Structure 1
Amino acid sequence: MNCSPSSKGYFFVAISGAFFGLSGIFVESLSVYNISTPLMGFFRPFISFILFLLYLLFKNREYLKIDGKGLLFIALLGFVSQTLFNRFYFSTIEKTTITTAVVLLYTAPIFVIVMARILYKELLTLPKIVALIVSVSGCFLTATGGSLEVLKLNSTGLLFGLGAGFAFALLPIISKNLTKRYHYLTIACYTMGFGALFSLLFINPREILLIDYNAKVLGNLIALALFPNALAYLFYTIGMSYDIQSSKASIINTVEVPVAVFTSYIFFREDIFGVKLLGILLVILSVVMIEYGEQFLLSMQKREKSIL
């Protein structure tokens, strides 16, 4: 069975979301060693950059070539999707709770749909609106278990949380045009490099030297950089290179939440049943709706015309 280019693109975005959802495992493990979240926010792009750089140096150095304009836009992408996002997201966790941060983060598809409509003239269709509502509802139920009591809202935390959602929303918006001009490996490599560079502004570099780099710490740092960062952003960029709709990609990427909850159940025995399971099913349903909803409506319209 042959898949259309857009279906392949959305598939890669879904894979990306699954990788994003693995971050909790490694963050939890590193927290035991008193490694702060800002330091994790530096190591994620820094190690990812080293991995991409080594791969390209040995595999294809041509992908390291880029013009000044491209470098400028990728620097912006690195600052927004790595530095700014990490800063806002971790600040939300500090000011509120992890659950609150996750719920606020997934306002991102709303921002994407608005920006994609303005910048790329992407249509605001009924299936897309319904899928968005189902997706956001699913993320809320999955993260909270349906209880508002687990949320801890204050004005500062709310602003940081919405800032994280907006920063995450800029990933498909900025990368959509970049993937038309540059190879996805080029984009991924330099995005991580700039992300690490800008992250130095928010940490004390001396703290890097004070870490006890034992085998478990190194293993978790590399895994944190490789799976929920390097591979996650790489697959997202590959997906966007198929010239897919940013708005649809942002909704499909919400599979991160069910994956995060499922891995928490496997590794930390956190509850996954009841309302949370309903939330997971809603997120999966939204992905199906965004992929096949418009196709179904078109086929129904054609059938009506043929009957008339």
Structure 2
Amino acid sequence: MGYIFVILAATFWGSLGIVVTYLKDGGFNSYEISFFRLFFAGILMFIYIFFSDRKKFKISGKKLMFCLLVGVISQGLFNLFYFGSIVRVGITTGVILLYTAPIFTMLFARIFNGIKLSKQNIISIILCFTGCFFIVTNGSIDHFNGDVVGVILGILAAMSYGILPIFNKNLPEEIDPYTLMFYSFVAGVLVIVPQINPQESLKNLFQDKLLILLGLGFAFFPTILSHLFFIKAIKYLDPVRVSIVANFEVIVASCLGFFIYGEELGIIKMTGMIFIIAASTLPSIRKRSMTV
């Protein structure tokens, strides 16, 4: 079940590129798109909780701080670091830096959960990163940019993304997943708002009904549903395994690019996909062989 949940989360995350492309074509920048994602996700979560169980809004001060911390780091700062990196070093380098996240998840899991750094996890991370590298770059390093600030921002983005499984693993049982998502989305919005003019951005979005629908779909499928499945996955798998398998997102995005936009899907990218699949299944195969 853990693998099913994390693959579902990765599948929805992999569809992000489609919506982002349409919104960019609509004239919105990366920070505005991040704002729309979290803003509408927060509204949808508010509506759901309001009509299903309003008690989920009630939360103690310490638990609220936990939810806000998740939102500030893994929602707000993540977007600022990630898009700030892309602006400075380009999409290729920024994405590659982001997919070092499992390395940081492994380190955080060791620090906060005492999970040992097994050889299988290390090999899986190497395979995973290599696979992502092949898919994103198609085997070429021509588009790499070594801007120091951009690289640092990319690493910080990977760290803020890589700690998300740790947050979810250490989620107090008293905190409902929907409560966590609502308050974390709100916190993320508050971090991003200073980078844009929210009133002007929303005004421009509301001028096109299609863009409004895209914004709502953006909030529901690759945001709310993906995070919900991600939280459920962490109940069955360790944080490192979840972080590695979540990179299945790259395979989904690449396949969607091939079928929808006619992007190239050659032998190098296919090899990268095989590496990611191998990275995701290696430890489970070993465990099964040990129990036979």
TM > 0.5: yes
Supply the distance in 2 between the matched residues of 1:179 and 1:234 (Cα, whole angstroms).
16
| 191-200 or 77-86, which deviates more | 191-200
Deviation, 1:198, is: 2.2
Counterpart in the other structure of 1:262: 255
> 2:232 pairs with 238, 244, 250, which one?
238
Deviation, 1:212, is: 4.5
Deviation, 1:160, is: 1.1
Counterpart in the other structure of 1:182: 175
Deviation, 1:293, is: 2.7
The alignment of Structure 1 onto Structure 2 pairs a total of residues equal to: 291
> 1:229 pairs with 205, 223, 232, which one?
223
Distance 1:299 1:154, change over 3 A: same
Distance 1:201 1:278, change over 3 A: same
Aligned pairs for 1:183-222 (under 5 A) are: 183-213=176-206, 214-222=208-216
Deviation, 1:62, is: 2.6
Counterpart in the other structure of 1:156: 149
Distance 1:243 1:119, change over 3 A: farther
Aligned pairs for 1:50-69 (under 5 A) are: 50-69=43-62
TM-score by length of 1: 0.90
- Paired residue secondary structure (2:26): coil
Supply the distance in 2 between the matched residues of 1:219 and 1:154 (Cα, whole angstroms).
37
Residues 271-296 of structure 1 deviation map (CA, whole Å, 9 limit, x = unaligned): 11210111011111111113333333
Supply the distance in 1 between the matched residues of 2:9 and 2:172 (Cα, whole angstroms).
16
- Paired residue secondary structure (1:180): coil
* Structure 1 ranges of 4+ moved more than 6 A: none
Q: Name the aligned partner's letter for residue 19 of structure 2.
A: F
Supply the distance in 2 between the matched residues of 1:140 and 1:246 (Cα, whole angstroms).
22
- Paired residue secondary structure (2:263): coil
Is the contact between residue 74 and residue 187 of structure 1 (CA under 8 Å) also seen in structure 2? yes
- 2:19 counterpart of 1:26: yes
Supply the distance in 2 between the matched residues of 1:72 and 1:280 (Cα, whole angstroms).
39
Deviation, 1:210, is: 4.4
Deviation, 1:169, is: 0.8
Deviation, 1:207, is: 2.8
Supply the distance in 1 between the matched residues of 2:148 and 2:224 (Cα, whole angstroms).
33
Q: Name the aligned partner's letter for residue 54 of structure 1.
A: I
Deviation, 1:57, is: 1.4
Q: Name the aligned partner's letter for residue 71 of structure 1.
A: L
- Paired residue secondary structure (2:145): coil
Q: Name the aligned partner's letter for residue 218 of structure 1.
A: I
Deviation, 1:152, is: 2.3
Q: CA RMSD in A?
A: 1.6
Supply the distance in 1 between the matched residues of 2:150 and 2:59 (Cα, whole angstroms).
38
Distance 1:28 1:179, change over 3 A: farther
**Equivalent pairs: percent with the same residue?**
32
Q: Name the aligned partner's letter for residue 272 of structure 1.
A: L
Supply the distance in 2 between the matched residues of 1:78 and 1:16 (Cα, whole angstroms).
18
Residues 174-202 of structure 1 deviation map (CA, whole Å, 9 limit, x = unaligned): 22111533121111121112211222122
Aligned pairs for 1:88-167 (under 5 A) are: 88-167=81-160
Supply the distance in 1 between the matched residues of 2:215 and 2:179 (Cα, whole angstroms).
23
- Paired residue secondary structure (2:171): helix
| 211-220 or 76-85, which deviates more | 211-220
Structure 1: tracts of 5 or more residues without a match = 1-7, 301-308
Structure 2: tracts of 5 or more residues without a match = none
Supply the distance in 2 between the matched residues of 1:88 and 1:175 (Cα, whole angstroms).
21
- Paired residue secondary structure (2:163): helix
Is the contact between residue 127 and residue 294 of structure 1 (CA under 8 Å) also seen in structure 2? no
Is the contact between residue 205 and residue 212 of structure 2 (CA under 8 Å) also seen in structure 1? no
